[in-house]
Amino acid sequence: MNKDIILLRTVEVAAIASYKYIGMKDKNMVDQAAVEAFEVMLRNERGFKLKVVNGEGELDNAPMLYVNQFLGDLNDPEVPTFDVSVDPIEGTNPAAYNFAGSISTISISRENTMLQMPEMYMEKFFVKDKYSNLINLSEGIINNVLRLQEFENRKDLRCIILDKPRHNKIIQELSKLGVVTRLIQDGDVLAAIDVVNGEADFVYGIGGAPEGCLMASLALASGCKMQSRLINYNQIWPNEKETESRMEKENAWMSKHNIDTSSILSDYDLVSDERTRFFAAGLTAGGSLKPIKYKKGKFFVNGFMASHGIVRNFSSIYDVNKVNNLKPDIKYLFDKYKR
């Protein structure tokens, strides 16, 4: 079967498996269900192999979907291998407490084209396609926004930004400029999907660096643009116990890759493959990606895919009885994670 369909179905089923734990106030169970769904859905596929470049963490910190894990056709050395960035559930906290902001997502690219990101913070600026040649993060977000406003000849650009204390000042500055800001609790990858789907003009803010690779794939696959810059842990949490050890790890990684916190990274610096593909499915979702619904034995799932500048939004219906008769691997998940 076409690997795109397989990967789209994988994120959809991961969302379905996690549906059981929406609102149960246990984000680990949300994540565990999605992780198992990924493993079950991909373990019997043939014709390709996936190497996790950005995933759940190192081997000793995660049961599966860890960095350098392989999925897919592990028995045939001749099949092509693809790099993968994966977040089984981006926004486990929104799912656990049943508010908008959670999706299942994965992106792939050709082997050795995806940069393995450290567990660092990252400043990210993701803009829609018409602004691709206008942005320069090294000049600061305000100068960029002024340039976009001049280009559009209007002030009321639509921005999505994480509602975090570190963004309070910039939120106030954007408001003074006339920018319409939509604040979200979690999920800048989901916010970037909204930009692609025309629900916003840009996403800005400081979030996780591993998610930056997912957003970079989305930018390249959809024709949008992203620039980013790594942020040291002590800039966000200067007085935490783990700050010193985190800084040591971050500095070692940046030295290894000849990158520092002044380096402006393009989407292509993170994923050097124009043929990268991006997939997502809504859990509690929000914006242009709708939340999963269940009614009378059927799951209604909103999926999303981008590749080669083509953007696809899907509405899929999983009839539990029909699928159980045709797909034993999905039946296993349906039975285990039945609500």
DSSP per position, 257-288: TT--TTPPEEHHHHB--TT-EEEEEESS-BTT
- Same domain, yes or no: 78 and 199: no
| Greatest pairwise CA separation for the chain in angstroms | 58
> What is the per-residue pLDDT across 158-171, written as a single tens digit (0 to 9) for each?
999 999 999 999 99
Q: If pLDDT is split at 50, 70 and 90, which confidence band does 304 have? A: very high
Percent of the chain predicted with pLDDT > 90: 86
pLDDT at 61 over 60: no
Q: Mean of the per-residue pLDDT values for the chain?
A: 93
Comparison of pLDDT for 309 and 45, the residue scoring more:
309
Which tokens hold the place of 272? Answer: 């050097």
Q: If pLDDT is split at 50, 70 and 90, which confidence band does 121 have? A: very high
Is residue 136 within 8 A of residue 127, CB to CB? The reply is no
Distance from C-alpha of 93 to C-alpha of 90, rounded to nearest angstrom = 9
- Same domain, yes or no: 238 and 331: no
pLDDT at 63 over 60: no
H-type alpha helices, the chain: 3-18, 27-42, 92-96, 141-152, 168-176, 188-196, 209-222, 233-236, 243-256, 267-270, 320-326, 328-336
- Same domain, yes or no: 42 and 99: yes
Residue environment code for 33-52, b if the CB has 16+ CB neighbours within 10 A, otherwise e = bbbbbbbbbbeebeebbbbb
pLDDT at 60: 44
Q: CATH number, domain at 312?
A: 3.30.540.10
pLDDT at 5: 94
Please state the rounded mean pLDDT for residues 134-149.
Answer: 97
> What is the per-residue pLDDT across 193-237, written as a single tens digit (0 to 9) for each?
999 999 999 999 999 999 999 999 999 999 999 999 999 999 999
- Same domain, yes or no: 14 and 57: yes
Which tokens hold the place of 29? Answer: 């169970």
pLDDT at 338 over 90: no
- Same domain, yes or no: 180 and 102: no
- Same domain, yes or no: 145 and 258: yes
- Same domain, yes or no: 132 and 257: yes
Q: Which of 50, 161, 67, 167 is nearest to 118 (CA)?
A: 67
pLDDT at 186 over 70: yes
Comparison of pLDDT for 13 and 60, the residue scoring more:
13
- Same domain, yes or no: 73 and 173: no
Please state the rounded mean pLDDT for residues 114-130.
Answer: 95
Last residue of a domain, one of 225, 241, 270: 270
Q: If pLDDT is split at 50, 70 and 90, which confidence band does 122 have? A: very high
Please state the rounded mean pLDDT for residues 41-56.
Answer: 91
Is residue 233 within 8 A of residue 297, CB to CB? The reply is no
- How far is the CA of 247 from the CAs of 230, 257, 263, 282, in angstroms? 12, 15, 17, 34
Q: How many domains does the chain have?
A: 2
Range of the domain at 161: 121-270
pLDDT at 22 over 90: yes
- Same domain, yes or no: 239 and 295: no
Comparison of pLDDT for 185 and 85, the residue scoring more:
85
pLDDT at 95: 96
Percent of the chain predicted with pLDDT > 70: 97
Q: CATH number, domain at 128?
A: 3.40.190.90
- Same domain, yes or no: 139 and 263: yes
- Same domain, yes or no: 54 and 180: no
pLDDT at 58: 52
3-state helix, strand, coil in the chain (%, to 5): 40, 25, 35
pLDDT at 65: 85
Distance from C-alpha of 250 to C-alpha of 212, rounded to nearest angstrom = 16
